[in-house]
Structure 1
C-alpha cells in the first residue's frame, strides 16, 4: 500500500478527496456520468481494469452506473453506515481506492447497480 504522500502527489485535490478520503462528487457533474463511449474503466489510482463499457447503463442517478465489474476479483465490498444510511461501499481490491457504492436496484442479469464516482475511474477508450 502506498502512503498518503504518494497519493497526494499523484492525484488532484478532488481526486484525492474522493479516492482516498471517501468523498462523493455531486450528481450529474462527473466526467463519465453520461458517457456512452466504448472502452475500459480503470482505477484512477492504480490502473486496475474495473468496469467494461458494455456493462454501463443510465440509472438516472447522475453517476456512472454498471451492472457488473470487469471480473469477479477486482472490487472489494464493505458495509457502510455513514451519513445515517446502510449501504455497501465498493473499493478497488488492489489499492483500496473508494469507488462508490453498490445497490440491488440494477438491471438484469445481475440486478446490481455499481454507482461509481467519475473521479475514481479513468476511461481507456477503444
Structure 2
C-alpha cells in the first residue's frame, strides 16, 4: 500500500516537472486567503498541498496549502488535480460545496476528469 502511494507521489513530481518545462503559467492560493500569484510548480508535489488545473493538467493552475474541511471556491472551473494531502478531497459543481460531490480525489491522487466537466469548489474530508 505504501509503495502505491510513493508511485503516485513520483507521478505528481513528474507532472509538475513537465508543467514547469512547458511554461505553464502559475497561480497560487491558500485555503484561507484565496488566489495569489508567484508559486513554484514543484510545490504541487509537496506533502500536504493540492494543485488544481483549469484543463487536463494544462492551463491555469492554483496551489493550495493546508486545506481543511471548510469549502474552498476555486478561481476557475477545475478539470484536474494532484492531491498530496493525507485526506480525500471532494469536488462539487457549484461554488459553495453543496449538493452531491461530482468527483472524489483520494489522498496522493493525480487525475483529470474532462468527461465530468468543470468543478468549482472542494473540501477535504
Question: Do they fold alike, i.e. is TM over 0.5?
Answer: no
TM-score range relative to shorter protein: under 0.3
Report the TM-score, using the length of structure 1 for normalisation.
0.27
Q: Considering Cα pairs closer than 8 Å and 6+ residues apart, tell me whether 1 or 2 has the greater RCO.
A: 1
